Amino acid sequence: MSDSDSKLLKGSRLYLEFLAEREEIMRHKYFESEKAGYDVGFEKALLDWLVKHRAEWRRKRKEEQVSATA
């Protein structure tokens, strides 16, 4: 990947959304691991977060983005 392609990717809205979602999944993994007393693993945390939290997180994120542009 060229340097210009890399800059384009890293500045893209899709990539930034991916990073924000990944951060939330990692946060969820941390809290779930703390509750369980052991590392629950990324895949389990990912699936749990997708089922329980993703829709609400995306809704709130969209609201925040709309209010920030208003």
DSSP secondary structure string for all residues of 2-70 = -HHHHHHHHTSHHHHHHHHHHHHHHHHHHHHHHHHTS---HHHHHHHHHHHTHHHHHHHHHHHHHHHH-
pTM of the model: 0.80
Q: Which residues are CB-neighbours of 32 under 8 A, at least 6 positions away?
A: 40, 44, 45, 48
How many structural domains is the chain composed of? 1
pLDDT at 8: 67
Range of the domain at 61: 3-69
Query: Which residue numbers in the chain have pLDDT < 50?
Result: none
Closest CA to 41 of 56, 26, 53: 26
Tell me: the pLDDT tens digits for 4-13?
666 666 778 8
pLDDT at 39: 98
